[in-house]
Amino acid sequence: MRINVDRDRCVGAGQCVLAAARVFDQDDDGLVTVLTLDPPAEEADAVREAVHLCPSGAISLVE
């Protein structure tokens, strides 16, 4: 699983952080940052949930 984030699309809703706090964070501008581009297998469901919940389509996955 590899995560791509598009910060230009991010609207800072923070849904990714709520879904997968060990993988996503918000930087000083409130925009998405990825803490690990290759998250461990046990985070996979949380990361998929983050993708689904992101309102602006800023996160995508290559599985």
Partner 1 sequence: MTDVATAPSFPMPRECPMHPPAEYASLRADRPIAPVTMADGQRAWLVTKHEYARTLLADPRVSSNRSHPAFPIVVDSDREALADPDRPFNRTMLTQDPPTHTARRRAVITEFSVRRVQEMRPRIQQIVDECVDAMLADGGPLDLVQALSLPVPSLVICELLGVPYADRGSFQKDTKMVLNRNSTVEERFAASDRLNQYMDELVTAKEAAPGDDLLSRLIIKNRQAVTLDHLDLVGMASLLLLAGHETTANMISLGVVALLERPDELAELRTSPGLLPQAIEEMLRYFSIVDTATSRVALADIEIGGITIREGEALVIAVNAANWDDEVFAEPQRLDIHRSARHHVAFGFGVHQCLGQNLARLELEIVFETLFRRIPGLRLTVPAADLPYKDDAAIYGIHEVPVTW
- Using CB under 8 A, which of 34, 44, 53, 61 touches partner 1? 53
**Rounded to the nearest 10 degrees, how much is the dihedral formed by the CA atoms of 39, 29, 10, 37?**
-20
H-only helix segments in the chain:
15-19, 44-53
Residue 49 near partner 1 by CB under 8 A:
yes
Least gap, CB of 11 to partner 1 (angstroms)? 5
Residue 52 near partner 1 by CB under 8 A:
yes
Q: Distance between CA 38 and CA 55 in Å, rounded?
A: 22
The contact set with partner 1 (CB under 8 A) reads 11-14, 17-19, 21, 26, 28-31, 49, 52-53, 55-57
